[in-house]
Structure 1
């Protein structure tokens, strides 16, 4: 689907746009007038963690579940645990922060890397380490991604990174092609429209 045909949460509508019209996530750094979509800004991510702000739209998340989009490896691990009747908890930290359900459904559909199994990363991590070694230009997303809900999250702001860990799975919405979430996104927006942001600086 074209990104401009996907229903946009109201808080995302308030985000700055790039030259194509893509809304720029709250944690995305800028270089001059150009957002660096493949990268995460340390200060923005820390602000979202400390203030419980959505990493996509930058507005507050209420107490309760949070969502994130996962790639093929973690999605497969969740599916395996659920099929075996086991609880799922990934103790490995990630750099990817949480967000509103509607925002993550939206992001899964409009981000080229997240949306399709054969999508490839356009940029490598600037300083690869054990958490970002997989962020390599040309890397493929994998077969089945997912939008996943968790009861809550933990975070740690270190000298160089913002780390997140997610607790207690509450929802698992797998996809090969994320267009399959379109009805779910429409229903979420109709049931619980997001609050428009009052001030959305870059």
Structure 2
């Protein structure tokens, strides 16, 4: 577990609560995204998982089967990839996203199903339905940067230029990457590093 995640508030079971997760009393609402917290992440360049500052340079996110397949096809064809459809899911540190991909029940396994539906579904969240399956593959993806728009109702993100592509069927395939990332962070004095190699792999 990244130290910045280890320092997060915990739910009653002891699980760290991501920075953008809203609370209802003492209960975090894992299926929801807090508008104010997500806006802070966008405006202040904070990690959506741990809430810590992200240095200038690449940012990471976890993607599901459809986007993972689209990125793989673009890279195989030598074409640039850019997600023109905005997402509500904010960026984060590489270590935080590698960790999130392994511990989030929905992200970790191809047969995983969503535990709840979006409260007020719209064109961006219509797919967030209880019982929806993740799909056969996913990936942790590094992007050169991100764009955002903060509206009264939503915080929207778009990601620019793939710099790293780490696909998985089951995300515990990333354990060695996470260990190496944490070791490199420790060797550099404990801070977040300024990005990774500038090419997709």
TM-score range, shorter chain: over 0.9
Where does residue 98 of structure 2 map in the other structure?
105
Where does residue 141 of structure 1 map in the other structure?
134
Whole-Å Cα distance in 2 between the matches of residues 192 and 166 of structure 1? 24
SS at match of 2:164: strand
TM-superposed deviation, 1:195: 4.2
Whole-Å Cα distance in 2 between the matches of residues 181 and 87 of structure 1? 24
Given that 2:185 and 2:191 are in contact with CA atoms closer than 8 Å, whether structure 1 keeps it comes out as no
Deviations 1:14-66 (A, max 9, x none): 10011221100000001111101111000100011110000000010000000
Given that 1:65 and 1:149 are in contact with CA atoms closer than 8 Å, whether structure 2 keeps it comes out as yes
Asked if 1:184 is matched to 2:177, the reply is yes
Where does residue 118 of structure 1 map in the other structure?
111
**Root mean square deviation, CA, Å:** 1.0
* Residues 37-116 of structure 1: pairs in structure 2 closer than 5 A: 37-116=30-109
User: TM-score, length-normalised on structure 1?
Assistant: 0.92
Whole-Å Cα distance in 1 between the matches of residues 23 and 79 of structure 2? 42
Which structure carries more relative contact order (alpha carbon 8 Å, separation 6+)? Answer: 1
The size of the alignment, in residue pairs, is: 189
Deviations 1:156-188 (A, max 9, x none): 000100000000110000001000000000000
Given that 1:11 and 1:195 are in contact with CA atoms closer than 8 Å, whether structure 2 keeps it comes out as no
Whole-Å Cα distance in 1 between the matches of residues 143 and 132 of structure 2? 27
User: TM-score, length-normalised on structure 2?
Assistant: 0.92
- 5+ residue gaps, structure 1, are 1-7, 197-202
Asked if 1:22 is matched to 2:38, the reply is no
Whole-Å Cα distance in 2 between the matches of residues 90 and 16 of structure 1? 32
Given that 1:67 and 1:148 are in contact with CA atoms closer than 8 Å, whether structure 2 keeps it comes out as yes
* Greater than 3 Å deviation, 4+ residue runs: 193-196
